[in-house]
Amino acid sequence: MSWGFQIDIHQVGGLVSTLEDAGDRMTRANNALKDLSPSDMGSDEIDGSAGEFQDRWEHGIEKIIQFSTSLTDGLRKARDLYAEIDGGAKSALGQMASELSGGGGQSGDSDITRRLEGKA
């Protein structure tokens, strides 16, 4: 229906995958930073600054990962619910079209059935 809310389920699925991949990459980067010791950087001043940066970076990345995970879960649920509702509506309209065309066992050549099947 062109007048209502519409989403592309496959694009939402792609977005979910992209967010999952981004979360994994951020987790790997965060773990790599944890494995790096600030004392590996050089002087005491650089080591101190690196340690402070590492703490802020880890905190920020953890927050981004939490948000990304919540967003991914919400998108996945929305996509699944939309697909379920869309399938149910299509099934109900198909049954109604079949009944309106004069019987449940016919081939379903009514205008409604053809449009539901993308033939008109």
Lowest mean pLDDT among 1-5, 6-10, 42-46, 94-98: 1-5
Tens of pLDDT, residue by residue over 41-69, are: 667 777 777 778 878 888 888 888 888 88
For the chain, which residues make up each domain, given as ranges?
9-116
DSSP-assigned states of every residue in 20-82: HHHHHHHHHHHHHHHHS-GGGSSSHHHHHHHHHHHHHHHHHHHHHHHHHHHHHHHHHHHHHHH
Q: 80 versus 116: which is more confidently predicted?
A: 80
Predicted pLDDT of residue 40: 62
**Burial class of residue 35 (count of CB atoms within 10 Å of its CB; 0-12, 13-18, 19+):** exposed
pTM of the model: 0.56
Give the Cα separation of 59 and 56 in Å (integer): 5
Distances (CA, A) of 32 to 38, 65, 89, 101: 12, 15, 48, 65
CA 95 to mean position of chain CA atoms = 31
Mean pLDDT of 65-81: 90
Predicted pLDDT of residue 39: 62
- Name the DSSP class of 98: H
| Residue 36 phi, psi (nearest 5) | -85, 130
Predicted pLDDT of residue 33: 74
